[in-house]
């Protein structure tokens, strides 16, 4: 599935909130038609079947704030999040199977990390769990 034509004309887009697509889809639609040079905030809404983030977001190097909602099958965030060199704020919400973040090196630019309603991550990080 591709996004509608014409999104490449939005050359000064600062904020994009996208998702909530048909739950029958196995992958997130390609974001390659979106101009990424000026995009500062990106919100991605997933659904129960998704087990990965769209790889296209690696191009969004100007993004300072990333929201990841409802990517239920993701167990680990990809190491390539570190390629988002401007990323300062990362928000994770209702990623039901999330257990692992990228390495400290990949997350070194973050000034804020918020994680809500990610039960497996919470369980893994509780005192006495032995997790690192």
Residue 115 main-chain phi, psi, to 5 deg: -130, 120
Q: Let me know if residue 131 belongs to a domain.
A: no
Written as six digits, the tokens of 10 are 């939005």
What's the CATH number where 43 sits? Answer: 3.80.10.10
Q: Let me know if residue 55 belongs to a domain.
A: yes
Domain containing residue 72? 7-125
- Please state the pTM of the whole predicted model: 0.86
Written as six digits, the tokens of 68 are 């990841």
Total domains, the chain: 1
Q: Let me know if residue 132 belongs to a domain.
A: no
- Position 36 scores a pLDDT of 72
d(CA 3, CA 25): 13
Q: Let me know if residue 38 belongs to a domain.
A: yes
One DSSP character per residue, 4-49 reads: PTTGGG-TT--EEEEE---TT-SSPPB-TTS--SS--EEEEE--TT
Q: Let me know if residue 130 belongs to a domain.
A: no
| Residue numbers of the chain with a pLDDT score lower than 50 | none
Q: Let me know if residue 88 belongs to a domain.
A: yes
- Position 129 scores a pLDDT of 59
């Amino acid at each position: 599935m591709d996004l509608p034509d014409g999104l490449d004309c939005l050359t000064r887009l600062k904020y994009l909130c996208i998702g909530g697509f048909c739950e029958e889809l196995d992958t997130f639609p390609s974001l390659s038609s979106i101009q990424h040079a000026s995009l500062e905030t990106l919100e991605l809404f997933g659904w129960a079947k998704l087990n990965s983030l769209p790889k296209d977001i690696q191009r969004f190097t100007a993004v300072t704030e990333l929201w990841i909602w409802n990517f239920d099958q993701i167990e680990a965030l990809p190491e390539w999040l570190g390629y988002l060199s401007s990323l300062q704020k990362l928000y994770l919400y209702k990623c039901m199977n999330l257990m692992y973040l990228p390495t400290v090196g990949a997350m070194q630019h973050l000034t804020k990390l918020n994680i809500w309603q990610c039960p497996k991550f919470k369980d893994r990080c509780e005192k006495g769990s032995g997790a690192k």
